[in-house]
Amino acid sequence: MLYQPSADKEELDRWKEVTLIYNSALKEIGTKLEILNDEFQDVHKYNPIEHIKARMKTSESIVKKLKSRGYESTIENMVEHVNDIAGIRVICSFTSDIYRIADMLAAQDDLRILATKDYIKAPKPSGYKSYHMLVTVPVFLSNRVVEVKVEIQIRTVAMDFWASLEHKIYYKFEGNAPEHIQQSLVNCAKIVEQLDAEMLSLNNEVQSFVKE
């Protein structure tokens, strides 16, 4: 079973170890991103990453997801069937940075890409846009190496603002927001897309002046 307040010592120790491993994987990915950002600044005098957010899914959320998929709430099922226990969100200034960062991560020898989903080229019906990567990263413990799954979401500042609002609305209405609110979100997503395109165009124009 997943960790419960009444769990015995053995279960508690297993839960602590799993939590340690996933948190270590987040640190590994976070460090990689920081190094890539620093190198990009040194070589190109430009930072593609605005900021990085890391989070661990709560045990309650994990249990809920397992139950919705018909699995028992065990640590084994959690590791096998829940891909977003450890998640990192990478926030960029421009859409071009999203694919640049994804390419740099894919080039890392010790990262294994399990899946990618491009919700920028193919947004969700709600208007959601982001680039998702599911990867495994090796975590080196004292007695073994564990390959740990981490979900990476890469998006612009504007996309992240929109997604944050959608998330709040989703939980407020438990996934059943009124039709007019859903349509307003779709309209806002179109505005975000236009804003990102115009900001990218403006940045490219500024960069062309700098090069001259």
Give the catalytic positions in this structure: 151
Contact 153, 92 (CB under 8 A): no
> Coil, helix or strand for 52?
strand
Q: What's the burial of 160, exposed, middle or buried (CB within 10 Å: 0-12/13-18/19+)?
A: buried
The amino acid that residue 56 corresponds to is M
E strands within the chain? 49-56, 86-92, 112-118, 131-140, 145-156
- Strand 112-118, strand 86-92: pairing: unpaired
Residue whose token pair is 């975590």? 139
Q: For 194, how many CA atoms within 13 A lie in the half-sphere containing its CB?
A: 6
